[in-house]
Structure formats: structure tokens, C-alpha cells
């Protein structure tokens, strides 16, 4: 009887043998080749015991946090991007923002009779401050309502959070736009808070519309764990102060931005 070669047995063990059936038949009848295969298997089984470090359940998220700042913005196929249904509403918000900035810019030009880029920049930032401030206010209210939600009747097994979910869905798109704008403007602190907020909004938007009290508690814990309400309040208040201090000097603006980058 011709025995199997080492190459044939390794290929068989690793599932890459061409004549698998023929090798199987031979192994069934040949004790010597079976013993040889067992020796190969013993080595491979020992190798399988080598430990593999567990990078943790949130590893993917950590990888994203590490690479996201290094990813260049893709220009993309613009028509494809804006034709997506959920983009249309956010696009409307951005158009409104641009119009507001344009109108405010015209008014400011008429007032001072001078067209300088610094004042246009200030106007643009003020418009953004107002818009983001409102967005944070809306988000805060939604999160507070969600945190306070509960079954009206203790016997009730499900809590309906569809209203909060709808609002989270709407806020999510706006949030993405503001976060991207904050990144473009170099406001890393605001972008980071908006990034945290986005994760919470995503969680809420993707939850079932009816949840059990236990599931609701899990959502609440997630909100608390991220400290998002606190961050939103701090940044919201700061934006409000900046808005009230109306005509801010550019240097003041920068220092505020730097301060928030530490949040």
C-alpha cells in the first residue's frame, strides 16, 4: 500500500487537499497514516492554545476615534449625497443658515459701509452660535424628557418613546451638519461634544419605539455614563454667553474656542 505523503496529510488537515475523498478512504484503512495525521494535529492543536489578547468589546469604537481625525473629507458624488431623503431636511436647515448668514452679512455691510472679511467671519460665527445653541437646547430637552419618561401605570410593561425617537432622528441630521461645520471651523471642543451627542441620538433613534422599563433604564444609564447632559448644558451656556456678548472681539472669540477645546 502506498502511504500518503506529509504534504497530502497537511493539505487534508488544512482543508486544501484536492483528492479529499481518496485520502479519507486511505486513512480509514491505514493505521500508519492515521498516526502520522494525529502527530500533525497535535502540533496544530498546541499552536491553537497560544493566547490571543482581547482588545475589548469597544475596540471598534476606539479605532474609529483614533482614525476619524485623520480621515480626509471625501468630496463624494454630491448628487447622491443630497438626494438621500433624510439629508433633504438637514439640507434645508443648512440653506436657512446660509441665507441667515448672507442677510446678516448684508446688514452688517450696510451699517458699517465697509466690506471686510473679518466682519463676515464674525457674522458667520454668530449665526452658527445661535443655530448650534438652539440645537443643543432642543437636544437637552429631548434627553431630559426621555430621562423622565416612564410607564403611566406601574403595571404597564411597555413605554412608548416614539415621540423622543422622532425628535432624535430629526436632531441627528442637524447634529451631523453642525459637527462637520465645527470641525471645519477648527472648533475641536464643540465638535467633540457634538460627536458624543450624536452617539446618544443614534442610540435613541435606533431603539424600538416601545421599550420595556428595563430597556429604558439601559438607555438612561448610557446617557448618564456619557455625561452628555452636563456637557450639552456647559457648551449651551457658553454659546449663550457668547451670543449675549454680541459684538465680540476676535481675540476673545479665539480664547473661548480654545477654552472649550479642553472640555
- Interface with other proteins by CB under 8 A: which residues? 6-7, 10-11, 13-14, 16, 39-40, 42-44, 46-47, 50-53, 55, 59-61, 63-64, 66-68, 70-78, 80-81, 84-86, 89, 166, 169, 176, 198, 202, 205-206
Is the CB of 120 or the CB of 138 nearer to other proteins? Answer: 138
Is the CB of 52 or the CB of 251 nearer to other proteins? Answer: 52
Shortest separation between residue 165's beta carbon and other proteins, angstroms = 8
Shortest separation between residue 211's beta carbon and other proteins, angstroms = 15
Shortest separation between residue 75's beta carbon and other proteins, angstroms = 6
Tell me the C-alpha distance between 198 and 205, whole Å.
Answer: 10
Is the CB of 106 or the CB of 199 nearer to other proteins? Answer: 199
Tell me the C-alpha distance between 258 and 188, whole Å.
Answer: 9
Shortest separation between residue 79's beta carbon and other proteins, angstroms = 9
Shortest separation between residue 68's beta carbon and other proteins, angstroms = 7
Amino acid at each position: 500500500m502506498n502511504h500518503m505523503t506529509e504534504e497530502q496529510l497537511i493539505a487534508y488537515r488544512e482543508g486544501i487537499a484536492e483528492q479529499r475523498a481518496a485520502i479519507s478512504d486511505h486513512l480509514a484503512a491505514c493505521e500508519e497514516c492515521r498516526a502520522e495525521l494525529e502527530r500533525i494535529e497535535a502540533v496544530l492543536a498546541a499552536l491553537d492554545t497560544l493566547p490571543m489578547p482581547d482588545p475589548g468589546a469597544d475596540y471598534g469604537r476606539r479605532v474609529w476615534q483614533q482614525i476619524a481625525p485623520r480621515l480626509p473629507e471625501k468630496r463624494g458624488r454630491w448628487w447622491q449625497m443630497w438626494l438621500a431623503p433624510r439629508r433633504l431636511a438637514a439640507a434645508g436647515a443648512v440653506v436657512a443658515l446660509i441665507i441667515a448668514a448672507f442677510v446678516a452679512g448684508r446688514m452688517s455691510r450696510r451699517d458699517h459701509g465697509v466690506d471686510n472679511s473679518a466682519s463676515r467671519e464674525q457674522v458667520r460665527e454668530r449665526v452658527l452660535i445661535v443655530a448650534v445653541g438652539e440645537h443643543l437646547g432642543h437636544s437637552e430637552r429631548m434627553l431630559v424628557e426621555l430621562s423622565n419618561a416612564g410607564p403611566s401605570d406601574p403595571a404597564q410593561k411597555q413605554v412608548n418613546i416614539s415621540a423622543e425617537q422622532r425628535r432624535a432622528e430629526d436632531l441627528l441630521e442637524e447634529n451631523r451638519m453642525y459637527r462637520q461645520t465645527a470641525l471645519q471651523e477648527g472648533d475641536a471642543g464643540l465638535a467633540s461634544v457634538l460627536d458624543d451627542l450624536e452617539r446618544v441620538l443614534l442610540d435613541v433613534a435606533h431603539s424600538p419605539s416601545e421599550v420595556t422599563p428595563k430597556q429604558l433604564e439601559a438607555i438612561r444609564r448610557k446617557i448618564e455614563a456619557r455625561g452628555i447632559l452636563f456637557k450639552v448644558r456647559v457648551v449651551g451656556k457658553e454659546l449663550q454667553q457668547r451670543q449675549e456678548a454680541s459684538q465680540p472681539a476676535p481675540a476673545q472669540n479665539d480664547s473661548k474656542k480654545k477654552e472649550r477645546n479642553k472640555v
